[in-house]
Structure 1
Amino acid sequence: MEKTPLNQDHRAGGARMVDFGGWEMPLHYGSQIEEHHAVRRDAGMFDVSHMCAVDVAGRDARAFLGRLLANNVDRLTVPGKALYSTMLNPDGGVIDDLIVYFIDDERFRVVVNAGTAAKDLAWMNARLAEWALAVDLTPRRQGAGALAMIAVQGPQARQQVWRVLPEARAASEALKPFFAADAGDLFIARTGYTGEDGYEITLPAERASALWQALAAAGVHRCGLGARDTLRLEAGMNLYGQDMDEGVSPLDAGLAWTVDLLSPRDFVGKAALLERGQGQQFLGLVLLERGVLRAHQEVVGEHGRGEITSGSFAPTMQQSIALARLPLPTAVGETVSVRVREKLLAARVVKPAFVRHGRVLV
Structure 2
Amino acid sequence: MGKRTPLYAEHEALGARMVDFAGWDMPVNYGSQIDEHHAVRRAAGMFDVSHMSVVDFGGPGARDFLRRLLANDVAKTDGKPGKAIYTCMLNTRGGVVDDLIVYHLDDGDYRAVVNAGTTDKDLAWMRGQSEGFDVAIEPRADLGIIAVQGPKARASASAALDPDLAESARQLKPFNAAVQGDWMVGRTGYTGEDGYELVLPHDAMVETWRSLRESGVAPCGLGARDTLRLEAGLNLYGQDMDEDTHPLESGLGWTVAWKPEDRDFVGREALEAVRGRVERKMVGLLLEDRGVMRTGQTLRHPEAGGEGVITSGGYAPTLERSIALARVPADWEGTVEVAVRKRWLRARIVGYPFVRNGESAL
- Normalised by the shorter chain, which TM-score bucket? over 0.9
Instruction: Please tell me whether residue 171 in structure 1 is matched to residue 168 in structure 2.
Output: yes
Distance in 2 (alpha carbons) for counterparts of 1:352 and 1:317: 13
Aligned twin of 1:200: 197
Aligned twin of 2:355: 355
Distance in 1 (alpha carbons) for counterparts of 2:54 and 2:159: 26
Aligned twin of 1:285: 285
Q: Which runs of 5+ in 2 are unaligned?
A: none
TM-score using structure 1 length: 0.96
Amino acid of the residue matched to residue 157 of structure 1? A
Secondary structure (helix, strand or coil) at the match of 2:130 reads helix
Alignment of 1:39-58 (within 5 A): 39-58=40-59
Aligned twin of 1:217: 214
Give the Å deviation of 1:104.
2.2
2:101 touches 2:113 (CA, 8 Å); kept in 1?
yes
Distance in 2 (alpha carbons) for counterparts of 1:93 and 1:166: 41
2:98 touches 2:118 (CA, 8 Å); kept in 1?
yes
Give the Å deviation of 1:184.
4.7
Give the Å deviation of 1:25.
0.3
Secondary structure (helix, strand or coil) at the match of 1:172 reads helix
Aligned twin of 1:269: 267
2:145 touches 2:197 (CA, 8 Å); kept in 1?
yes
1:171 touches 1:183 (CA, 8 Å); kept in 2?
no
Alignment of 1:125-274 (within 5 A): 125-129=127-131, 132-141=132-141, 146-165=142-161, 167=163, 168-264=165-261, 265-274=263-272
Structure 1 residues 91-115: Cα deviation after superposition (integer angstroms, max 9, x where no partner): 0000000000001231000111000
Instruction: Please tell me whether residue 308 in structure 1 is matched to residue 306 in structure 2.
Output: no
Structure 1 residues 3-25: Cα deviation after superposition (integer angstroms, max 9, x where no partner): 11111111111100000011110
Secondary structure (helix, strand or coil) at the match of 2:174 reads coil
Give the Å deviation of 1:59.
0.4
Distance in 1 (alpha carbons) for counterparts of 2:129 and 2:179: 30
Give the Å deviation of 1:219.
1.2
Secondary structure (helix, strand or coil) at the match of 2:178 reads strand
Give the Å deviation of 1:342.
1.2
Distance in 2 (alpha carbons) for counterparts of 1:314 and 1:238: 15
Structure 1 residues 216-259: Cα deviation after superposition (integer angstroms, max 9, x where no partner): 12211000000000000000000000000000111100000111
Give the Å deviation of 1:281.
1.1
Distance in 2 (alpha carbons) for counterparts of 1:183 and 1:155: 24
Alignment of 1:47-126 (within 5 A): 47-77=48-78, 78-126=80-128
1:284 touches 1:351 (CA, 8 Å); kept in 2?
yes
Give the Å deviation of 1:262.
3.4
- State the identity as a percent: 55
Which range moves more in the overlay, 189-198 or 275-284? 275-284
Give the Å deviation of 1:329.
1.1
Distance in 1 (alpha carbons) for counterparts of 2:182 and 2:69: 29
Give the Å deviation of 1:330.
1.8
Distance in 1 (alpha carbons) for counterparts of 2:133 and 2:45: 42
Amino acid of the residue matched to residue 161 of structure 1? A
**After TM superposition, which residue ranges in structure 1, 4 or more long, deviate above 3 angstroms?**
none
Give the Å deviation of 1:166.
5.7
Distance in 2 (alpha carbons) for counterparts of 1:207 and 1:268: 38
Secondary structure (helix, strand or coil) at the match of 1:65 reads helix
Distance in 1 (alpha carbons) for counterparts of 2:300 and 2:162: 53
Secondary structure (helix, strand or coil) at the match of 2:117 reads coil
Give the Å deviation of 1:182.
1.4
Aligned twin of 1:342: 342
Distance in 2 (alpha carbons) for counterparts of 1:263 and 1:256: 16
Distance in 2 (alpha carbons) for counterparts of 1:279 and 1:2: 41
Secondary structure (helix, strand or coil) at the match of 1:160 reads helix
1:35 touches 1:223 (CA, 8 Å); kept in 2?
yes
Structure 1 residues 158-194: Cα deviation after superposition (integer angstroms, max 9, x where no partner): 1101133261321111100000001454200000000
Paired residues, what number?
354
Distance in 1 (alpha carbons) for counterparts of 2:182 and 2:92: 38
Root mean square deviation of aligned Cα: 1.0
Secondary structure (helix, strand or coil) at the match of 1:202 reads strand
